[in-house]
Amino acid sequence: MNNFQFYSPTEFIFGRETENKAGHYVKKHGGSSVLLHFGGGSAVKSGLLGRVKASLEAEGIAYTELGGVKPNPRDTLVYKGIDICRENNIDFILAVGGGSVIDSAKAIAMGVPYDGDFWDFYSGKDPEAALPVATVLTIAAAGSEGSGDSVITKEEGGLKRGAGSDLIRPRFSILNPELTCTLPAYQTACGATDIMAHVFERYFTNTTEVEITDRLCEAVLMTMIKETPRVIADPANYDARANIMWAGMVAHNNIVGVGREQDWNSHGIEHELSALYDCAHGAGLAVIMPAWMEFVYKHDIMRFAQAATRIWGCKMDFAAPENTAREGIIRFRRFLRDIGMPLTFDELGAKTDDIPALVDKFGLGDGRTGGFVKLSSEDIASIYRIAADPKLI
Amino acid sequence: MNNFQFYSPTEFIFGRETENKAGHYVKKHGGSSVLLHFGGGSAVKSGLLGRVKASLEAEGIAYTELGGVKPNPRDTLVYKGIDICRENNIDFILAVGGGSVIDSAKAIAMGVPYDGDFWDFYSGKDPEAALPVATVLTIAAAGSEGSGDSVITKEEGGLKRGAGSDLIRPRFSILNPELTCTLPAYQTACGATDIMAHVFERYFTNTTEVEITDRLCEAVLMTMIKETPRVIADPANYDARANIMWAGMVAHNNIVGVGREQDWNSHGIEHELSALYDCAHGAGLAVIMPAWMEFVYKHDIMRFAQAATRIWGCKMDFAAPENTAREGIIRFRRFLRDIGMPLTFDELGAKTDDIPALVDKFGLGDGRTGGFVKLSSEDIASIYRIAADPKLI
C-alpha cells in the first residue's frame, strides 16, 4: 500500500424530503448570500427548485439564480457565473442538479477569488481559495457531490479538462433518492455506468497489498450489479435508487481508491468522445471502458481474473486464468447491454473515420499516460478501434 | 434504507514516517498551544513521542504533556486534563496512542469549555462545544481516530459509559502502520477483534434494502479475515498492518453503517466485563460477541446465513439454512481461537458467579435494549451464561 492523504469533509444528508433542509445547512455552513446554480427546466418543473428556494427563504438567506447548465458543462457559463458572484457579493454556491451543475459550480467557486482566468485550474494550476460549494443532487452518476473534482468543456474547440482540489469538496450534499425516481432509463443507466467506471479506474492498479480497497471496490460494484437492473425494471423503486445513490458517492470520494496507483485512461479517452459528439459521458464509458479492458488485460491476467470471480461470480479457470479474465470483460459488456447501454462506436453514433482526430485532440503526442498501463497515442487509437469492433462481446 | 446524516471531516494522513508531520497538521488546523496526551512508557521508549515533539517544536507550537492514560481510561485523569488545559490556555489536544488515549482526549476536549461535570456527556447530554482533537494512532482497534465516540470508566464504582458527538471527531489523524509493527500478538488480536465487532454491530440489523452497506461491511470483515493471521504470524508485515489499520478506521467512522438500525448490545455487555475484570475490550468481545450471536441468530436466520456464506465462505445449506447460520458462528469462534483470543468466561478469567452482579451493573432493570434484538436483563444473563459454556464452538 502507498502512503496517502484522505479528506472527505462533506456533510451528507441522505433520504426522503431532505431538500427541504437546504436552507438550514447553508446557514450552518456559513452562507448568507447564495448563487443558486442549476440546469434546465426539470428542476423547475418538478418543483424541486421551488422547495429549495422556500427553504432558503425560511432561513432568511438571499439568493441569485443562474440556470442553464448543459451536460458537459461549458466555460462560457462559468465566466458568467463568476461575474454574477462578484457583482452580488455571493459567499456560497448551491448547485441543484447532477454532476454537470456541480462541476460548473465548483469552477465558479474557484474562479471568483482568483485574479486570472479560471481555466488555469483546468490546465494544471492549484487553486489557493474557493467559495464554499454545496449540492442538492438529482442524479446518481458523477460522484461530484462528494469529490474534489470538476470537469469543464471549453466551448471554443471542445477541449474537455479536469481540475481537482480539496477546496472544492462540497461543504454539504443533500441526497434524496426520491429525486432520481423520475429519471429516464437511459440516463439512469448512463449514471450507473459512470459509477462503475469510477471504481474500475481505481481497481485496476499495479499497487500490491491493497486488500481493503480491493474489497471496498468490489462491494460498490456488486451493489451496482444487483441494484441497477432493479431500477431499470422499476424506476420508482426507492430502495434500489437509494443504494445506487450512496454507492455513487462512495465510488468517487476516494475511500475505495486510497493508497493505490489509479488509472483514469478510460475517462480521458471517453472525454474526447463526449466532447466531439456531445454524447452522455456514461454512454461513452460503456463503449470505451470494456475496450480499454480488452486492450490491457494481458498486463495483469490475475487481477482481471480476480475481478471476474469476485465481482461477476465467474468460476476460476485454474488451468487457463486468461479465460476467466476474458469472461469478466464479456460479463461487463453483457451487463451494460442489459441495462440499455451502447457497446460500439456504431451504437454510440461515433465514426471510425474520426479516430485520428480523436487521438489528435487527446493531445498525447509522443508521450504516454495512465496508471495501470502507460498508453501511447497509437495505443489509444487501438482502443478506439476495439470500441468500433469489439471481440470480447 | 433509513434516512441518515454522515459526516466524517477528519483529515487522514496515512503511511510511513507520517508522525513527523504532526506539527505541520496541528498548525494547518489552527492549534498553537497543545495538550500532548499519551499513555504509558511505550510511546516514550519507542522514540515516537520524541519525534512528535520535535515536529511540534519545528513549527514553533507550544505543548504541555499529560501521560498516564490506562486501558479503559478513567474519569480521574480526564478531570486532571481539563484543569491543565484551563491553566495553560490549551487550544488543541493531540492524542498519541490508541483508543484509550484518544477517548480520554475527547473527554477532556468536551470538558474544557463546559461549566458542569464532563460526566454529563457520558450520561446522555449533548456537548455544545469542544476543543479540537487530533491523533497519532499507535494501534488499530477502537476506530476512535475517525469516530465521534468516546468511552470512559468512572474510577469509583467502575461504571463504563460512552459519549458521541460530531464535535469530537478528530480534525486530523496520523496513521503510520510501522508504529503497530512492534505490538505483541495478543494486543494485535484484541484490536482485530474490536474492529470486526464494530462491523458486526452494524451488520446485524432489521433494516432491509441495505445492499451497499452490507457489502461494505463484508469488505472490511473479509479483509480482517485475510490480514489478521498474517500479522499474528509475521508481526512486522507492513502491508498486512496497513490493511488492518485502514480497515479499523473504515469499520467505525460509520461509512459502513449509515441508513440502518444498528445493535451494539455486544459492546454494552462486554463493557461490564472489562470494567469488572479490567480485561482487554477486544478479548471481552471475543467471548461475548459469538455468545450474543448464539443467543440471537434465530431472530433472522437468513441474515446469519448470508454472513456465513458471504463473509466466511460457507456453502449455503438450502434445505436447512439454520445449519449455515450456525456454521458462520462456529467459523467466527475458530478464527478468534486461531488468532489467540479467549472464547469462554474461564479463558478470559471471568466468573460465572459474577453474572448476577454483571447484569445488575448493566442497569437495565425491567427495560429492554438493543437494535437487532431488544434484550431484557434475563436475556443478558443468558448471554453471559452462553459465554461461560458456549455450544457453537
Three cell numbers at B158?
Answer: 467502575
Question: What CATH number does the domain located at B11-179 have?
Answer: 3.40.50.1970
Tell me which chain A residue has its CA closest to the CA of residue B240: A209
Of A8, A212, A223, the CB nearest to B211: A223
Query: Which pLDDT belongs to residue B294?
Result: 98
Share of chain B above pLDDT 90, in %: 96
Q: Which residues of A touch B259 (CB under 8 A)?
A: 14-15, 242, 246
CA–CA distance, A95 with A170 (Å, rounded to integer):
10
Q: How far apart are CA B46 and CA B53, in angstroms?
A: 13
d(CA A1, CA A213): 10
Q: Report the percent of chain A where pLDDT is more than 90.
A: 96
The residue type at B281: H
Mean pLDDT of B309-332: 98
- Pick from A21, A20, A67, A73: nearest CA to A42: A67
Chain A residues lying within 8 Å of B234, measured CB to CB: none
C-alpha cell at A42: 426539470
- 149-208 of A, contacting B, C-beta below 8 A: 208
* Mean pLDDT within B190-194: 98
Chain A: give the shortest CA distance to residue B256, in Å: 10
Distance from CA of B247 to the nearest CA of A (A): 6
Contact check, Cβ <8 Å, B242/A255: no
For chain B, the structural domain boundaries read 11-179, 185-388
Local confidence band at B2 (pLDDT 50, 70, 90 cut-offs): very high
CA distance B173 to B195: 17
Mean pLDDT for chain B overall: 97
Return d(Cα A37, Cα B280) in angstroms, integer.
53
C-alpha grid cell, residue A242: 437509494
Cross-chain Cβ contact B242/A222 below 8 Å: no
Q: What angle do CA A270, A98, A92 make, to 5 degrees?
A: 120
Average confidence (pLDDT) over A106-112: 98
* Cα dist from B186 to A266, B179, B342, whole Å: 46, 16, 10
Q: Is residue A14 less than 8 Å (CB to CB) from chain B?
A: yes
Cβ contacts from A onto B, under 8 A: 125
Which positions in chain B touch A248 (Cβ < 8 Å)? none
Phi-psi region of A331 (alpha: psi -120 to 50; beta: other; left: phi over 0): alpha
The pLDDT of residue B67 is: 97
| CA–CA gap between residue A14 and residue B210 (Å, rounded) | 14
Which 3 state secondary structure label does DSSP give B76? helix
Closest-CA distance of chain B to residue A264, Å: 23
Res B78 pLDDT > 90: yes
Contact B101, B179 (CB under 8 A): no
Nine cell digits for residue A63:
439568493
The pLDDT, as a whole number, for residue B275 is 87
Q: Do A11 and B12 touch (CB under 8 A)?
A: no
B11-179 and B185-388 in the same fold? no
Sign of CA dihedral B31, B36, B42, B44: positive
Q: What are phi and psi of B342, to 5 degrees?
A: -70, 150
Please say if the pLDDT value at position B157 is more than 90: no
Q: Which of A1, A3, A13 is closest, CB to CB, to B243?
A: A1
For residue B4, list chain A residues with Cβ-Cβ distance below 8 A. 12, 14-15
Model-wide pTM > 0.95: yes
Enumerate the residues of chain A whose CB falls inside 8 A of the CB of residue B3.
14-16, 18
Nearest to B146, CA basis, from B84, B47, B220, B232: B220
Nearest to B219 among A3, A208, A215 (CB): A215
Q: Which of A11, A208, A223 sits opposite B212 (nearest CB)?
A: A223
pLDDT of residue B174: 98
Residues B136-142, mean pLDDT to the nearest whole number: 97
CA distance A96 to chain B (A): 19
pLDDT of residue B27: 98
* Helix B185-203 vs helix B265-277: crossing angle, to nearest 10: 150
Nearby residues of A308 by Cβ (< 8 Å), 6 or more positions away? A314, A316, A324, A325, A327, A328, A329, A331
Q: What is the mean pLDDT of residues A273-277?
A: 91
Q: Strand pairing of A133-137 and A172-175?
A: parallel
Partner residue facing B211 (CB), from A10, A18, A227: A227
User: Does the pLDDT at position A21 exceed 90?
Assistant: yes
Does the distance separating the beta carbons of B243 and A212 come in below 8 Å?
yes
Query: Rounded to whole angstroms, how far apart are CA atoms A136 and A170?
Result: 10
Give the Cα separation of A249 and A296 in Å (integer): 27
A273 in Cβ contact with A15 (< 8 Å): no
Distance of alpha carbon B312 from alpha carbon B202, whole angstroms: 17
User: In this structure, what C-alpha cell is assigned to residue B382?
Assistant: 443468558
Nearest CA in chain A to B255: A250
Name the closest residue on chain B to residue A8, using Cα atoms: B9
Pair A33, A191: CB distance under 8 Å: no
Q: Please check the confidence at residue A197 and state whether its pLDDT lies above 90.
A: yes
Q: Tell me, yes or no, if A12 comes closer than 8 A to chain B by beta carbon.
A: yes
pLDDT exceeds cutoff 90 at A272 = yes
Task: Look at residues A227, A205, A202 and name the one whose alpha carbon lies nearest to residue A216.
Answer: A202
Check CB contact of B79 with chain A, cutoff 8 Å: no
SS3 B121: helix
Comparing CB atoms, the residue among A216, A222, A242 nearest residue B1 is: A242
Give me the residues paired with residue A11 across strands: A172, B7
* ipTM of the prediction greater than 0.95, yes or no: yes
Length of chain A (residues)? 393
Give me A34's grid cell: 447564495
Locate cell 450456525: which residue?
B326
pLDDT digits (tens, 9 = 90+) for B358-376: 999 999 999 999 999 999 9
C-alpha distances in angstroms, A277 versus A155, A281, A351, B205?
13, 10, 10, 47
Return d(Cα B246, Cα B264) in angstroms, integer: 22
Please report the pLDDT score of residue B81 as a whole number. Answer: 98
Predicted confidence (pLDDT) per residue in A358-389, tens digit = 999 999 999 999 999 999 999 999 999 999 99
Question: Mutate which of B2, B6, B239, B258 to test chain A, going by most A C-beta atoms within 10 A?
Answer: B6
**B9 grid coordinates:** 471531516
Residue that the C-alpha cell 458517492 belongs to: A249
Cα–Cα distances (Å) from A97 to A84, A357, B296, in that order, read 19, 32, 44
Interface of B with A in 88-117 (CB under 8 A): none
Contacts 24+ apart (CB under 8 A), A290-293: A290/A329, A290/A332, A290/A333, A290/A336, A290/A343, A290/A390, A290/A392, A291/A383, A291/A384, A291/A386, A291/A387, A291/A390, A292/A265, A292/A266, A292/A383, A293/A200, A293/A204, A293/A329, A293/A332, A293/A392
| Facing B239 at nearest CB: one of A209, A218, A223 | A209
Residues across chain B: 393
What fold, for A183-388? Dehydroquinate synthase-like, alpha domain (1.20.1090)
247-276 of B, contacting A, C-beta below 8 A: 247, 250, 255, 258-259
Residue with cell 459567499: A91
Give the distance from residue B386's alpha carbon to the nearest chain A alpha carbon, in angstroms. 33
**Is a pLDDT exceeding 90 seen at residue B209?**
yes
What tens digit of pLDDT does each residue of A227-258 get? 999 999 999 999 999 999 999 999 999 999 99
Q: Give the model's confidence band at B20: pLDDT under 50 very low, under 70 low, under 90 confident, else very high.
A: very high
Inter-chain contact A3–B18, Cβ cutoff 8 Å? Answer: yes
Reading the block at residue A88, the C-alpha cell is 452580488
Q: What is the mean pLDDT of residues B66-92?
A: 97
**Contact at CB, A11 and B1, closer than 8 angstroms:** no
Q: Is the predicted pLDDT of residue B72 greater than 90, yes or no?
A: no
pLDDT at position A160 over 90: no
Which residue among A15, A211, A220 places its CB closest to the CB of B223? Answer: A211
- Mutating which of B169, B211, B224 best tests the A interface, going by the most A Cβ atoms within 10 A? B211
Distance from the Cα of B16 to chain A's closest Cα (Å) equals: 7
Rounded distance between C-alpha atoms, residue A2 and residue A210, angstroms: 9
The architecture of the domain spanning B185-388 is Up-down Bundle (1.20)
Residue range B283-306, pLDDT digits in tens:
999 999 999 999 999 999 999 999
Cα gap B217→B215, rounded to integer Å: 5
Q: Indicate if the pLDDT at residue B126 is higher than 90.
A: yes
**Nearest chain B Cα distance for residue A209, angstroms:** 6
Using the predicted structure, report yes or no on whether residue A275 has a pLDDT greater than 90: no
> What is the rounded distance in angstroms from the CA atom of residue A135 to the CA atom of residue B226?
38
**Chain mean pLDDT for chain A:** 97
Residue B389 has phi, psi (to 5 degrees) of -150, 70
In angstroms, what separates the C-alpha of B62 from chain A's closest C-alpha?
25
Q: Looking at the complex, report in whole angstroms how far the Cα of residue A20 sits from the nearest Cα belonging to chain B.
A: 14
Q: Tell me: the pLDDT tens digits for A279-333?
A: 999 999 999 999 999 999 999 999 999 999 999 999 999 999 999 999 999 999 9
CA pair distance A145, A133, nearest whole angstrom: 10
Across residues B253-277, what is the average pLDDT? 96
**DSSP label of A154:** -
B353 touches chain A (CB under 8 A): no
Sign of torsion over alpha carbons A250, A253, A259, A265: positive
pLDDT-based confidence at residue A13 (cuts at 50, 70, 90): very high
Residue A72 has pLDDT above 90, yes or no: no
Strand order across the A133-137 sheet: A62-66, A33-38, A92-97, A133-137, A172-175, A4-14, B4-14, B172-175, B133-137, B92-97, B33-38, B62-66
* Cβ contact B219–A223 (<8 Å): no
Helices vs strands, H then E, count in chain B: 15, 8
Q: Is the pLDDT of residue B41 over 90?
A: no
Tell me the DSSP string of A64-88.
EEE--PPSS-BHHHHHHHHHHHHHT
